A and B are shown apart, each in its own frame.
Chain A
Amino acid sequence: MTVNPGLNTRVNPKKLRPYDEPPKRRRSLIPGAPDSAATGFLVAALLWLALATGIGLLAALMRFVDFEFSIFISVPFLRFDVDFNRSLVDAAFANALVFGWLSNAGFAAATFMAPRLTGRKLFAEPLVVLGFLAWNSATLGGIALLYVFDQGPSSVLGSFPWFVEGGMAAGALIVAGSFLATVAPVLRSAYVSIWFAVIALLSVAGFTGLNALIGLLDYVIGLPDLAVALGTLLIDRATYLLWLLPMALASLYYVIPRATGQPLESNGLALLAFVALLVTAPVAVLSVAVDPAIPFLVTSAGSAATMALLFPIAITVVNLVLSTRGRWTLLFGTGPVAFAAVSMAFLLAAGMLDAIGTLGSVRDFVGGTDWVQGSQAWSLLGAFTFAGLAFSEHAISRVLHRDWGANVLSAAQLWSLFAGSTLAGVALMGAGMAEGAFRARAADAETIAAGVLGYHLVAFVGIGLAAIGGLAALANIFLAYTSGRPVQRAAPAQPAAASAGGH
């Protein structure tokens, strides 16, 4: 045996004899390798998508066939009776979709993009993994607790108990802090996706924190019902406009140039869209503040800003479509560009519907009907979901280090979710308009229920198709990991001697 001359000569080489194997690598309990957080968020997102669309299918069935059921969970000395009624299942669906699927996809996109666009390692990656655990355990707990605690006067997305919202806020704050620490040194010259993501992450941390604060104050000092209802309703709206929308735009601005391999058409236009969103979205939040306690002018300003919100969406769509010039065939495939194109079409349509729905006369006609859910189906299951899937299609092979591209499962996701969200949105909006017309004729409840039955059947079929798409997305990432050929890719912001490229 030869002893490594570089070893400290004071060590007795004989003592090394039984132990001269290289030391085993110690695996950390909390993964900290590059892309650990992005991988966790992406996998969790796709699990949530399958779960959320499954709950959505139950919610749609309960619209079509009016029924309620109860289950009981029994543990020693304790028995929980859980009632499944339509409003609780609706709330579980919305929360699983927004805080489960879409939020995890947003966090995945942010933690994936930051190192690749800045050339800097994600700050405190193990801490971000803890943030991932905090967010997802809180969201799962919150949905379970919907069936335990009374929702009270809170809105749908503010219906978790305050301590659950606190856990979510902590998770979001960790991700936002890490993201900011990563991009801060290069923020002034950063690509527009980073700017959108900064606004989105600060918003989600702030709004979940505000929800927790409202819940805590209500618990401790008992706030008026109107204050809680209005506060949480405004936060709901802000979650759509300042978290989900900018994160969807950040993903689209990232995915299309990457997937087409072409530069962005105009950086100036992208920054104009960012500034326009920053100006209009916070004011557009006010459009839901509809109560005599709120000055009419404030609500009208919110409605006007909602109309103006079409501008940043429209110029983003034009900018990204022009960036695809010369690679039009990608639009007709099943890769990230096709998903992004569907997302942009839904973004435009949902933006227009939002602008129409905010008009006072339309609100009077369809307020409190399924119109609202139909319009949200197009934004949540259409625009934001397809932006998330465009990112997912781009990122799966990169974070899992597998040779995996568009396949039959991608096509299943694309077409079943496209058909499903289109059908569900149209049917629910149709049900809302039909109900509005019945109400204007002073029809009784039975006549209204019979009149919207057909619409609810179509909505059920639509959500069923979307659920198939969700399962296909989950199967896709599972097969990518188990069946994809391992490839070496350089980790982002690390020496790239063995890089297979393609970030």
Chain B
Amino acid sequence: MTVHTPIESRGSRIPPWALLLALVVAVTAGVYLVANLAGENPPLAIPGTTPSAPAGSAEPDPEVGQALINSATPACTACHGADLTGSGSFPSLHGVANGPVSENLQDLAAENPDNWAELWIAGEPGGPTDGIERFGMPAFADQFDANQIASMVAYLKTLP
């Protein structure tokens, strides 16, 4: 005799409610999948890395800019949506290459056609953006240097 004590079962039948539940769950997951076939994932925040423009480089790098946009605090995607196409009252950032996306920035762009976006993101006190209503948009001059902000704008200009 061995101490082998198997666990018995009252039955092996799968109750109909379980099959119905499986169907409901499968349909729900399927509907979610079909509704989310297309789109683009935001960049992954890689632990232990603080993306920055290459030291001494004056050339803005869109790839660095993409990583910076995700690492900003608050993240750009928190207000402008995961794919930066806008969310609620926050405007889309696609089409920045063609000019300002908001009414409040038209004058700034007219006076600074080459770097209006950099000025707006930096938002330095005493700068040309003083007096423009920011509608909750933070100033990032304390977080990023001019090279990094230029890289962020370079990335935004790649968005269609």
A interface residues with partner B (beta carbon < 8 Å): 116-119, 150-156, 191, 193, 225-226, 229-230, 233, 253-254, 257-258, 263-270, 272, 276, 289-292, 294, 296-297, 299-301, 303-305, 307-308, 310-311, 314-315, 318, 323, 360, 363-365, 367-368, 436, 438-445, 490-497, 499, 503
Cβ-defined contact, B9 with A292, below 8 A:
no
Chain B residues in 8 Å Cβ range of A155: 47
Q: Which residue of A lies closest to B136 (CB)?
A: A442
Given the known inter-chain contacts A304-B32, A307-B32, A314-B21, please indicate yes or no for A445 contacting B73, CB distance below 8 A.
yes
The listed residue (B7, B11, B78) touching A440 by CB distance below 8 A is B78
**Proximity string of chain B (13-41) to chain A, C-beta cutoff 8 Å, 1 when within and 0 when not:** 11100100110011011101100111111
Cβ-defined contact, B4 with A118, below 8 A:
yes
Interface centre among A268, A296, A442, A503 (most CB of B within 10 A): A442
Chain A residues in 8 Å Cβ range of B111: none
Nearest CB on B from A453, distance (A): 18
Chain A contact residues: helix, strand, loop or mixed = helix
Chain B contact residues: helix, strand, loop or mixed = loop
Query: 3 shortest A-B CB distances, which residue pairs?
Result: A119-B4, A267-B9, A439-B74
Nearest CB on A from B88, distance (A): 9
Chain A residues in 8 Å Cβ range of B41: 289-292, 294, 296, 299
Q: Does B1 contact A (CB under 8 A)?
A: yes
Q: Given the complex of chains A and B, what is the CA–CA distance between A425 and B73 in angstroms?
A: 24
Cβ-defined contact, B39 with A151, below 8 A:
no
Q: Which residue of A lies closest to B134 (CB)?
A: A442
Q: Does B49 contact A (CB under 8 A)?
A: yes
Chain B residues in 8 Å Cβ range of A118: 4
Q: Which residue of A lies closest to B30 (CB)?
A: A304
Q: Does B82 contact A (CB under 8 A)?
A: yes
Given the known inter-chain contacts A268-B11, A290-B42, please indicate yes or no for A307 contacting B28, CB distance below 8 A.
yes
Chain A residues in 8 Å Cβ range of B78: 364-365, 436, 439-440
In the complex, which range does the number of interface residues on chain B fall in?
A: 35 or more
Q: Does B3 contact A (CB under 8 A)?
A: yes
Q: Which residue of A lies closest to B19 (CB)?
A: A272
Cβ-defined contact, B2 with A264, below 8 A:
no
Cβ-defined contact, B47 with A254, below 8 A:
no
17 contacts between A and B (CB under 8 A): A153-B48, A264-B8, A265-B11, A266-B12, A266-B13, A266-B14, A272-B22, A292-B40, A296-B40, A297-B37, A300-B32, A307-B28, A308-B26, A318-B18, A439-B78, A496-B1, A503-B3
Chain A residues in 8 Å Cβ range of B110: none
Q: Given the complex of chains A and B, what is the CA–CA distance between A272 and B21 in angstroms?
A: 12
Cβ-defined contact, A307 with B29, below 8 A:
yes
Cβ-defined contact, A153 with B12, below 8 A:
no
Cβ-defined contact, B25 with A308, below 8 A:
yes
Chain B residues in 8 Å Cβ range of A304: 29-30, 32-33, 36
Cβ-defined contact, A315 with B28, below 8 A:
no
Given the known inter-chain contacts A290-B42, A491-B3, please indicate yes or no for A364 contacting B82, CB distance below 8 A.
yes
Cβ-defined contact, B137 with A442, below 8 A:
yes
Q: Given the complex of chains A and B, what is the CA–CA distance between A299 and B45 in angstroms?
A: 16
Q: Given the complex of chains A and B, what is the CA–CA distance between A296 and B43 in angstroms?
A: 12
Q: Given the complex of chains A and B, what is the CA–CA distance between A364 and B69 in angstroms?
A: 14
Nearest CB on B from A108, distance (A): 18
The listed residue (B5, B9, B40) touching A264 by CB distance below 8 A is B9
Q: Given the complex of chains A and B, what is the CA–CA distance between A311 and B24 in angstroms?
A: 10
The listed residue (B15, B29, B47) touching A229 by CB distance below 8 A is B47
Cβ-defined contact, B44 with A230, below 8 A:
yes
Cβ-defined contact, B47 with A151, below 8 A:
yes
Cβ-defined contact, A315 with B18, below 8 A:
yes
Q: Which residue of A lies closest to B24 (CB)?
A: A311
Chain B residues in 8 Å Cβ range of A297: 37-38
Nearest CB on A from B104, distance (A): 15
